[in-house]
Amino acid sequence: MPDLKVNPNALTKEEFALFQPIILQESGIYFNIDQKDSLSFSLVERMEKAGKRSFADYYSFLTSGLEGRREIFNLLDLITVGETDFFRTPAHFDVLREFILPEIARRKFARLNKLSKQNEAGHIEPVIKIWSAGCSTGEEPYTIAINALETIPQAAYGAVSVFTTDVNRERLEKARLGLYSKKAVRNLGPEILEKYFIPAGDKYEVSPSLRMMVKFARHNLSKDEFDLGDMQDLDIIFCRNVLIYFDLANTKKIIDNFYNCLNDEGYLFIGPAESLWQISNKFRAVEFPHVFIHRKQIGAAIETEKPFINIPELDLESVLHVAEELPEIAEPALRQEEPEKKPALDAHLADFEEGVRLFKEKKYDRALTVFDKIISEDREFTQAYFAKATILSNQAEYAKAVAELKRIIKVDNLFIEAYYLMGVLFNRLGDLDKAIEGFQKVIYINPAMALAYFNLGNIFYCQKRFKKAEREFRNASEILAKRPKDEVVVFSEDVTTGVLLAACKKNIETVKPK
């Protein structure tokens, strides 16, 4: 950043209060007082480019004339920073590819008699319509298109359309360009990269097969009408990690608009740290492995569902070293005398690695056989119990998974992943007191586990213990505020510190008696 002629720390609370409603009105994004410093740096950067030397002058400029109106859009482009990756939150795309797209295709294609509406070029009118709202630089809509092409043969002939919008003009233009650095595509497998991208110097360009499916438009979710043709009769809407930046009133309005844009059997994808709790009772949460997806509810509104907590996609390989990474903070009363390392541990490592390989390939029954064999030969190989519990969790065998986790605790009462997963599973089983106990044990072992505080906040919110909920969200916020914004939160699949911090701050604003 260039040398600043105005000190960003000079933004007063009174001046902050002037800019806050402008941003809220134009974008729906709510900045609370805790975000004053973040906003001040964005203001100063635009002030320099606009030639303004004080916050008061810049405010007057924004609120007068056509040039000020244009400058508001420049400011919004700067403060609406999106973060995205190809196949971000892989569990969402697993569900899209394995469950939702095939279900929609079977239903809709049967109605249309195998797509009889072909034009002279062999293409067909879109049958499955998807909207990526808040697309950032385009990784999400192109990932959706890849999944459609991999799942539905007719997608190659125009049967699937992906409508893509964002409020930020610069990001939208990059998405249209479809040109990405090697770093941006680093997580794509070689087969997908070769099939859907074209090398272009030191970058990769999306293939024509992707381009033909994706259409772009600028749209402000907070201010603009939801009346474009590409927004009507939709089968799926993706709006992930966007609504957490809006105030509650705008969030409710946007969700209502999404409801009206979806057809009667449509699906809504929101971010893994987001919930429709206390926002809308027009959608039903459908449980899939690791995630809930919201489906449009027809007829009478459903009872508001409790905030859900995702089953984490924990790294089975990392648990081999879990004890080495824990801080020395637990009281002696919590610790048990560590069993001596046995030669059998090394003897079973090869079997464990084979089980992990089968797990990654989703060959769960075979993996369970391997882990059961290890357990039968060494009842203190806690990692095998944990692997078994993880598979049972994926199969919705929650009570059985809890039983395996309890066996771990008897051997190693500092196995933090076991306590965390136990908290998640007791939440699924409806035993909130035991879920609370699990997350509190996580925090006792390591007080820096922000996601445990966040989950406690959601549970207390559900129980209408509002002061306790607010306290836990604030605890999580304090931890997250000290971490890099792009760091992935421990025990989440790929939720970043910045996203979870935004979710915490929104919850703090909305946790109150209704």
Q: Are residues 69 and 172 in the same domain?
A: no
Same domain for 99 and 50 = no
**H or E element that contains 269:** strand 262-269
For the segment 389-403, the average pLDDT, to the nearest whole number, is: 92
Q: Which of 99-108, 109-118, 243-252 has the lowest mean pLDDT?
A: 109-118
Give mean pLDDT, residues 106-132.
69
Instruction: Say if residue 393 is exposed, middle or buried (CB neighbours under 10 Å; 0-12, 13-18, 19+).
Output: buried
| Whether residues 330 and 288 fall in one domain | no
Q: What type of residue sits at position 225? A: E
Pair (75, 118) in one structural domain: no
Do 406 and 488 lie in a common domain?
A: yes
Which range, 8-12, 331-335, 346-350, 427-431, is most confident?
427-431
pLDDT at 325: 42
Query: What is the arithmetic mean of pLDDT over 372-384?
Result: 90
| Closest to 313 in 3D by CA, of 443, 417, 439 | 417
Residue that finishes a domain, picked among 26, 46, 79:
79
Q: Where in the sequence is the domain holding 16, given as residue range(s)?
A: 8-79
Q: Tell me: do 163 and 205 sit in the same domain.
A: yes
User: 324-333, 340-349, 377-386: lowest mean pLDDT where?
Assistant: 324-333
**Residue 266: closest CA among 289, 296, 291:** 296
Is 310 among the domain residues?
no
Q: How many domains does the chain have?
A: 3
Q: What is the CATH number of the domain that holds 352?
A: 1.25.40.10
Domain boundary among 296, 328, 346: 296
- List own/partner pairs for 389-393 with CB under 8 A and 24 or more apart: 389/418, 389/421, 390/314, 390/316, 390/359, 390/421, 391/359, 391/364, 391/367, 393/311, 393/421, 393/424, 393/425
Q: Is residue 488 part of a domain?
A: yes
Locate 282 and state its tokens. 């027009």
Q: Is the pLDDT of residue 30 over 70?
A: yes
Mean pLDDT of the chain: 84
Within a domain: 85: no
The per-residue pLDDT for 318 is 67
The CA-to-CA distance between both ends of the chain, in Å, stands at: 44
Indicate if the pLDDT at residue 438 is higher than 70: yes
Q: Rounded CA gap, 74 and 27, in Å?
A: 12
Is pLDDT above 90 for 196?
yes
**319 pLDDT tier (thresholds 50, 70, 90):** low
In this prediction, residues 144-152 reach a mean pLDDT of 95
Q: What is the share, in percent, of the chain residues with pLDDT greater than 70?
A: 85
Predicted confidence at residue 44, as pLDDT, reads: 86
Q: Is the pLDDT of residue 115 over 50?
A: no
Assigned domain for 25 exists = yes
Residue 491 φ/ψ region, left for φ over 0, alpha for ψ in the -120 to 50 degree band, beta for the rest? left
In a domain? residue 244:
yes
Q: What is the mean pLDDT of residues 206-227?
A: 92
Q: What is the pLDDT of residue 350?
A: 86
The residue that leads in pLDDT, 205 or 28, is 205
Q: What is the pLDDT of residue 341?
A: 45
Examine residue 304 and state whether it is found in any structural domain, yes or no.
Answer: no
CATH of the domain at 254: 3.40.50.150
Query: Has residue 121 got a pLDDT over 90?
Result: no
The model's pLDDT over 259-303, given as tens digits with 9 standing for 90+, comes to 999 999 899 999 888 888 778 889 988 888 778 899 998 876 565
> For residue 216, is it within any domain?
yes
Is the pLDDT confidence value at 111 over 60? yes
65 and 159 co-located in one domain: no
Pick from 213-227, 297-311, 437-451: least confident: 297-311
Same domain, 73 and 111: no
Supply the pLDDT for residue 193.
94
Is the model more confident about 214 or about 482? Answer: 214
CATH code, 51: 1.10.155.10
Domain match, 368 and 476 both: yes
Residues 107 and 205 in one domain: yes
Same domain, 270 and 328: no
Please check whether residues 209 and 109 belong to one and the same domain.
yes
pLDDT value, residue 499: 87
Q: Which of 79, 107, 137 is the last residue of a domain?
A: 79
Stretch 443-465: mean pLDDT, rounded? 93
In a domain, 303, yes or no: no
